[in-house]
Amino acid sequence: MNIFVSNLSFNIQDEDLEGFFTEFGTVTSAKVIMDRNTSQSRGFGFVEMPNREEAQKAIEALDGAVADGRAVRVSEARPKEDKKPSGRFASNKW
């Protein structure tokens, strides 16, 4: 199960994020998303847990919990949507 974690402190690293979730079960990956230009955290990340039941327990326990002074939001990640073209070339009619 893929889990979305938002409102993270900019001090939180991948290892910290993983540590929050290991209490509830196996974590296969934990990634804080970084800005390409500044290399600073963007304040959100993703955690993958193979066991759905463990992941659900983690979501329920950690949603609203305070980490490094901030109340984090934790939910099941939604599938990434395809970006729709916009602007001048949106219709594909040249």
Q: Can you list the positions of beta strands (E) in 35-93?
A: 41-48, 66-67, 70-71, 73-76
Q: What is the mean pLDDT of the chain?
A: 91
pLDDT at 10: 95
CA dist list (Å): 18 to 31, 74, 80, 83? 8, 13, 22, 29
Give the tens place of pLDDT for each residue, 17-53. Answer: 999 999 999 999 999 999 999 999 999 999 999 999 9
Indicate if the pLDDT at residue 54 is higher than 50. Answer: yes
Domain ranges within the chain, ordered by starting residue? 2-78
Cβ 4 vs Cβ 78: under 8 Å: yes
The domain covering 2-78 belongs, at the CATH homologous superfamily level, to RRM (RNA recognition motif) domain (3.30.70.330)
Whole-structure pTM value: 0.83
